[in-house]
Structure 1
Amino acid sequence: MSDSADTSRTAVKTYVPAYQKEEWESHAEELDMSQSEFVRTMVQAGRRGFESGSAEPGSHGPDPGGNALETQVLELLAADTYSWEELLEAVADDIESRLDETLEELQSGNRIRYSGRHGGYTTVDGDDDGD
């Protein structure tokens, strides 16, 4: 953002399913954030994934674009002190949740399915034996 950027506030309105709003409210409460602050933060975090080749602010090393792990760890540590195990659990829980949501979305979009015969998840279009 440039120094001359307009910092006045304006409303943004969107419509989401009721269950999603409830999830957002619950998550915002867990993070001790207002709903507006939560949505604004999540949108900004999500935008990072769409900015090709952009690095996280202040990120260094071989993968500066990263997957926001550095930011997540810094945010956790800004709020409290964590042991290695606690940090691992905090970031692993986020990965598990994201994987679960992604698998559900892919299944509901009929792009993947769970197949006991194939020993786990498989793509629907890669199903060449017709079952």
Structure 2
Amino acid sequence: MPEDDRVAVKTYVPRYQKERWREHADELEMSQSEFVRTMVQAGRSEFEIPATSGGETGESAAPTDAGSDEEFADRILAVLDRQGPLGWDDLVDALIDDVEAELDATIQRLQDENLIRYSGRTGGYVLTNDE
């Protein structure tokens, strides 16, 4: 495949994150696709904002059931690739471990961003904007 052939990359992020990225992309006069691509490349190498391509679209639509099924299928494939053959119970345990690790990391990030906090009074996590 020639290097300049384009292929789609899809990801799902929380709505507030997409809005932040959209606002930043607008400030830079970029499409959301250009912005995400540029930020990923910036994280991997020296940062340089390319000239806008004008009219590029490629933003993905909201997740669908099929998209969620594919995301779950990707998780299963990743676990099997990492751990090798697994029976049902071991596969369930591995998937739960992945979800727990992801949950822990995401909760930490949300706390770092001051979007949630743990409330001993309510016995759980609360949004900081509800205070």
The alignment's TM-score, normalised by the length of structure 1, stands at: 0.50
Greater helix content? 2
Structure ranking higher on relative contact order (CA contacts 8 Å, 6+ apart): 2
